[in-house]
Amino acid sequence: MVMVLSRRHKILPAESKVRTLEILAFDIGKTMCRLVCLYHSLSDGEITRLRGQTTKSKGVAYLTSHQECFLLNLAAAELLEDLDAAAITVSQLGRKCSDVSLSRFDLVYNDLKLGVIDLRKLGYATRSANKVIGKMEKLVATTGNLHSALETMAELEASEKKMQRCNNNYNYNYSNNFPKPNVDYLKEKIEFQRKQVQHYKEVSLWNQTFDKTVGIMAKVVCIVYARICSVFGECISLFSDKNNDKDNLDNSVYCLLEHRVLYQNNLCLSDHHQRGNYKTKSGPLFSKTNKLYPVNFYSGALKPDRIQFDAKSISNEKCGNVLKLAPSNTVGGARLAFKYANVILFAERCFNAPPKGARETLYEMLPERLRVKVRAKLKARWRKGENGMEECDALADGWREAVEELLDWLLPVAHDTVRWHSERLLEKKPFEVRARVLLLQTLHYSDLEKVEASIVEVLVGLSYIYLYEKRL
């Protein structure tokens, strides 16, 4: 018995050998990049831009909502959802750590949301926080370089195998006039690429330990959560519990965020039964009612069973909640955001420099409901006698100005919709650290009738421009 215990004691150091991330470095690098992007998106400059420019831009205000409180709630909900997804990954990785405090990060994050941890100790943009972010940015960049280097090496090795097969089948007796492929040069390139890969493995996340990586990521998760509470706390309802000692809670510090009923009291998203029809015209379209309602998150005590960070908790219900909250009377709820964004962008091409067959291509891009509206609008215009060819130049200029005015505020929203789709759903350039587009900047939560009316007006305008300028 003593000998067995002695053997186990000797084997333990070998079993507890420090583990590095290795192949997990790429998935962890994406999560780390997400955290860095979240951190930068909460800077003073980005928040000032969000409040002063984004929420007040014509496209967002006219199509989505003119209520700043709702838009800020939507931004906070999306940021919090991204943070929760990162926290899930950090907690899963924490179970592989030898540090007990990291192995149960799910409990730490739960305490953070319950207000047990003093958020004032989690300073944003402090010297230590910026140092951690700088280190993470370097790790993300080198991990991205490693990913690219591995792809290049795979291509070179595939070329080498292909060249070897060609050499084996090469008949030099009958092909003396053709030079032999330079296999040696390719081998030199592969050898150099292997050294590059080895270098990037040593300096990237590939060679980092679980404890060190999870430690810095967990710290940033907590800092970002505290920053969200600080930035968006004034427009998000604060938690109050009769069972808690009010003297121990500082409402300016402890803010529990929940976004399950984000849109319920928003005029533009839930009041469609009281809204009338919209008349199409060249310009922004407004709702007939001017009633305002408070817009808040649902705040309440977060029970331990509601925050789970194991693999079983990653269900379809919890993934993309903010994306799925859009009602059916929005463009995103009708699942037409990306399609309508591409229609707007192609309409811009037709307006500036139409390619060959542009009208047919544009018509094929339209869903049936939009085709019906365009045909009805054109028929109504023709009945009014707007098909006269007198003063063609003046009419063409008038329609050109109207279409240009519409595109001025439609295009930014369309571009942001495509970019959001590229960043979040397609995950293009996963290791690129930059401020990402928020959902409120896209067509996702835009009113469906307003967007369709605006697109119809653009398409009708293009038809008359083509007619009067004789592009047919």
With a pLDDT cut of 70, the percent of the chain lying above it is 71
* Mean pLDDT to the nearest integer, 454-460: 94
Q: Give yes or no for residue 60 having a pLDDT over 50.
A: yes
Tell me the pLDDT band of 465, cut-offs 50, 70 and 90: confident
Tell me the pLDDT band of 382, cut-offs 50, 70 and 90: confident
* Mean pLDDT to the nearest integer, 387-398: 63
pLDDT, tens digit, 9 for 90 and up, residues 84-134: 999 999 999 999 998 888 998 999 898 888 888 877 778 888 899 999 999
pLDDT score for 236: 56
* Mean pLDDT to the nearest integer, 326-353: 93
Q: Give yes or no for residue 150 having a pLDDT over 90.
A: yes
Q: Give yes or no for residue 275 having a pLDDT over 50.
A: no
Tell me the pLDDT band of 385, cut-offs 50, 70 and 90: low
For the four alpha carbons of 305, 309, 312 and 318, in that order, the dihedral sign comes to positive
Among 74-83, 135-144, 314-323, 460-469, where is mean pLDDT lowest? 314-323
pLDDT, tens digit, 9 for 90 and up, residues 277-321: 444 443 333 333 333 333 333 333 333 333 333 323 323 333 467
Q: Are 288 and 275 in contact (CB under 8 A)?
A: yes
Neighbouring residues of 450: CB distance < 8 A, sequence distance ≥ 6: 62, 63, 278, 285
Average pLDDT taken over every residue of the chain: 77
pLDDT score for 173: 45
Among 110-119, 186-195, 359-368, 454-463, where is mean pLDDT lowest? 110-119
pLDDT score for 75: 92
pLDDT score for 399: 84
Give the count of beta carbons closer than 10 Å to the beta carbon of residue 106.
21
Strand partners, 447: 330
CA distance 456 to 376: 10
pLDDT score for 177: 55
The owner of tokens 């427009």 is: 235
pLDDT, tens digit, 9 for 90 and up, residues 198-225: 999 999 999 999 999 999 999 999 999 9
Return left, alpha or beta for 132; rule: phi > 0 is left, psi -120 to 50 is alpha, else beta. Answer: alpha
pLDDT score for 358: 85
Among 148-157, 417-426, 446-455, where is mean pLDDT lowest? 417-426
pLDDT score for 146: 96
173 or 357: which leads in pLDDT: 357
CA distance 379 to 364: 19
Tell me the pLDDT band of 445, cut-offs 50, 70 and 90: very high
Q: Give yes or no for residue 152 having a pLDDT over 70.
A: yes
Q: Are 322 and 81 in contact (CB under 8 A)?
A: yes
* Mean pLDDT to the nearest integer, 399-422: 93
Backbone phi, then psi, for 79, in 5-degree steps?
Answer: -65, -40
Q: Are 456 and 377 in contact (CB under 8 A)?
A: yes
